[in-house]
Amino acid sequence: MKIVTYNVNGLRPRVSQFGSLLKLLDSLDADIICFQETKLSRQEMRADLARAEGYESFFSCTRTSDKGRTGYSGVATFCRVKSAFSSEEVALPLAAEEGFTGLLEHFSGDVSRRDDSVVEGLEDFSVDELLKVDREGRCIITDHGHFVLFNVYGPRAECDDTERIQFKFNFFKILQRRWDCLLRRGRRVFVVGDLNIAPGAIDRCDAGPEFEKNEFRKWFRSLLMGNGGQFFDVFREKHPERREAYTCWPTNSGAEEFNYGTRIDHILIAGLCFHRDENQGGHSFVSCHVKECDILLQFKRWKPGNTPRWKGGRNVKLEGSDHVPVYMSLVEISNIQPHNTPPLSTRYCPQVYGCQQTLVSMLVKRKSVEEFRCGGSSSFSKENTVLQSCNLLGKRSPHSCSSSSLNLTHEGVFSTPAEAPECSDKESSCNSPCTDINGAKLLASVEEKKQKARHSHWSQLSLKSFFQTSNSDNSSSLFADNKLNQANFSNPCCESNEIIGESGECDAQKEWDLQQSVPMQEENGIDGSQLLENEKNVAIVEWQRIQQLMQNSIPLCKGHKEPCVSRVVKKAGPNLGRQFYVCARAEGPASNPEANCGYFKWTASKLTRKR
């Protein structure tokens, strides 16, 4: 049996990277695959993200509405099985549970009933504390008979964020209580996932003097057998002296290039081995049943041969997660009693299956909205008639607008039954023949012109567009074929105090056409093509001057004498929004001259942030 843990940093981009969920799962080639940081809410779960042929899946999604936590975290466990029913495979769990407090499955909103569903060992915690740690979708538990598997995504907390630090303490404290309760019953416990804790200095690229004093690292080491705990750190048991064995790298500094990362993705095991002879010394589950445990470095975003950052590689987008998978192979794992897929499987999830809507269901749901707007009720057949009438209304000629208005009023769309079936003052033209067809054409032309102008205003402009002469024919042709029947009809493109004359053109428009009709080359006495060429040359020289000025303003790093890159402080504090320069090379160990030299310089001014 093979178990894999992988922080995918978003399940959607990983599925897109591999082409399908099935290809992603098959690339890991494991019986149990545990994903963290899926970044899926329950409403976003679809069959192409949750279901794959030959696999049963179990999800825990974030339920919190806190700012910055929606669509965040999330874990999923995929089990490769041959049969979902009456199966003896260990990979198919006997039971599954979302969260680790026992409240998510039973919580129904009734405060008086919540305490009844709290699992053993967690009675000392309040319901609010338990729900708070479980609402972020950070754990899924599956019982595989021989062992209980915890798929965990540990919270991250900055050193100055006291609220998240306390949350992280509560999270692991409650989680450990659940582990201890199972171990007292004689169960084996497997813990896999991104715990966001590097246990020792050997597991961190830049471990400083204060590294070992971190409270979470002390807690992690207290779990291990060497310090009186009950768990084995399986990777370190198999590779006790291996250095630079990292599973996560910062994405903004290009640290993967020089393998400058940390090991925070773990596989922990607690419990006895399957052998019954207790007189034989040296027996443990790891030594007896774990064949190998290692890091799948082939999933790194940075590949040998990629262009270095300071040679243009910064602009190359690297596909993949900022983590890599960790796997464990087990031996001598026998089958278990026949069992079926647990109810928590996405096989039974209505968000994945059974929620496909038809056109009829969409119209039925819309019925309540229409009733609210109209203040009355109508049958489905009447609403369908109204929709058909609305479609026909756009196809009819202006002469038939009177009958269309009456029909829609009769169906209760534009007026309540208490209203008289007459057009309002704004629609009084519907009762008389629509004779002003030229005026309607004029309004349509003006509106089309406005839309084009608006589109041109917001679209990206090129340098060439600034040197093109405007065409006067386009502005004058708008009113060339439109003559009005009423003398007091105002032109929408004119000012409010200007009235259209008999020719259908306003005075301002005539002046503009007159000015545009004079060729540019006649005004200046220069050939048009020569003038355009001169202006292009001036623009090129000016752009070169701006580029040179920008290059001169960018400092050179002291280590490599290369142009730096600018960054902006995004962390809340007195320097929020302030710009600074750093070395452009990828982050790496100080002993490597090819890595980032550590140059830093503030810019002269602070950027103004948009609100």
DSSP for 56-82, please give it. Answer: EEEEE------TTTTT---EEEEEE-S
Lowest-confidence range among 342-356, 426-440, 451-465, 584-598? 426-440
Residues annotated as catalytic (active site), given as ranges: 153, 194, 323
600/602 Cα distance (integer angstroms): 7
448/455 Cα distance (integer angstroms): 11
Mean pLDDT throughout 13-35?
97
The more confident residue out of 585 and 173 is 173
Of 242, 243, 210, which Cα lies nearest the Cα of 589?
243
Phi, psi (rounded to 5 degrees) for 408: -70, -35
Tell me whether residue 278 is annotated as binding. no
Q: In DSSP terms, which residues pair with 268 in a beta bridge?
A: 191, 233
Tell me whether residue 323 is annotated as binding. yes
Mean pLDDT throughout 269-292?
84
Tell me whether residue 196 is annotated as binding. yes
Lowest-confidence range among 120-124, 176-180, 369-373? 369-373
383/437 Cα distance (integer angstroms): 32
Statement: residue 53 has pLDDT above 90: yes
Specify the DSSP class assigned to residue 168. Answer: H
Mean pLDDT throughout 101-119?
54
Of 30, 88, 80, 81, which Cα lies nearest the Cα of 335?
88
Mean pLDDT throughout 475-480?
43
Mean pLDDT throughout 318-346?
94
pLDDT-derived band of residue 191, with 50, 70 and 90 as boundaries? Answer: very high
444/441 Cα distance (integer angstroms): 5
Q: Can you give the length of the chain in residues?
A: 611
Mean pLDDT throughout 325-354?
91
DSSP for 364-424, please give it. Answer: HHHHHHHHHHHTS---HHHHHHHHHHHHHHHHS-GGGHHHHHHHHHHTTSSS-TTS-S---
Angle between helices 380-395 and 401-410 (to 10 degrees): 170
- List of residues 6+ apart from 197 with CB closer than 8 A: 154, 216, 217, 219, 220, 264
298/302 Cα distance (integer angstroms): 9
- Which amino acid would we find at residue 506? C
Provide the pLDDT for residue 180.
94
Provide the pLDDT for residue 280.
59
Tell me whether residue 322 is annotated as binding. yes
Provide the pLDDT for residue 530.
84
The more confident residue out of 517 and 299 is 299
Question: Which tokens belong to 206?
Answer: 């830049």
The more confident residue out of 437 and 28 is 28
Tell me whether residue 575 is annotated as binding. no
What is the percentage of the chain residues whose pLDDT exceeds 90? 39
Of 394, 369, 396, 398, which Cα lies nearest the Cα of 383?
369
Average pLDDT, the chain: 75
Specify the DSSP class assigned to residue 476. Answer: H
The more confident residue out of 385 and 278 is 278
Of 558, 605, 557, 597, which Cα lies nearest the Cα of 581?
557
Provide the pLDDT for residue 586.
82
Statement: residue 250 has pLDDT above 70: yes
Statement: residue 253 has pLDDT above 90: no
Question: Which tokens belong to 380?
Answer: 């489905």
Mean pLDDT throughout 442-469?
59
Mean pLDDT throughout 452-470?
57
Mean pLDDT throughout 407-413?
37
389/412 Cα distance (integer angstroms): 12
Please answer whether residues 584 and 572 qualify as being in contact, where contact means their C-beta atoms are separated by less than 8 angstroms: no
Tell me whether residue 511 is annotated as binding. no
Statement: residue 113 has pLDDT above 50: no
Phi, psi (rounded to 5 degrees) for 493: -85, -5
The more confident residue out of 71 and 544 is 544
Provide the pLDDT for residue 7.
97
The more confident residue out of 296 and 572 is 296
Question: Which tokens belong to 41?
Answer: 């809410």
Provide the pLDDT for residue 608.
52
The more confident residue out of 287 and 520 is 287
Mean pLDDT throughout 409-432?
40
Statement: residue 110 has pLDDT above 70: no
270/280 Cα distance (integer angstroms): 19
Mean pLDDT throughout 500-510?
47
pLDDT-derived band of residue 513, with 50, 70 and 90 as boundaries? Answer: low
Lowest-confidence range among 183-197, 231-245, 441-455? 441-455
The more confident residue out of 106 and 342 is 342
- Which amino acid would we find at residue 150? F
Statement: residue 392 has pLDDT above 70: no
Most confident of 111-120, 227-236, 251-260, 299-308: 227-236
Mean pLDDT throughout 400-405?
38
Provide the pLDDT for residue 438.
55
Most confident of 135-139, 292-296, 308-312: 292-296
Of 314, 330, 304, which Cα lies nearest the Cα of 252?
314
Region for residue 423 given its phi and psi (left: phi exceeds 0; alpha: psi -120 to 50; beta: otherwise): beta
What is the percentage of the chain residues whose pLDDT exceeds 70? 63
Question: Which tokens belong to 461?
Answer: 């402009």
Mean pLDDT throughout 236-252?
92
Provide the pLDDT for residue 604.
72
Q: Which tens digit of pLDDT belongs to each residue from 143-156?
A: 999 999 999 999 99
Mean pLDDT throughout 346-373?
59
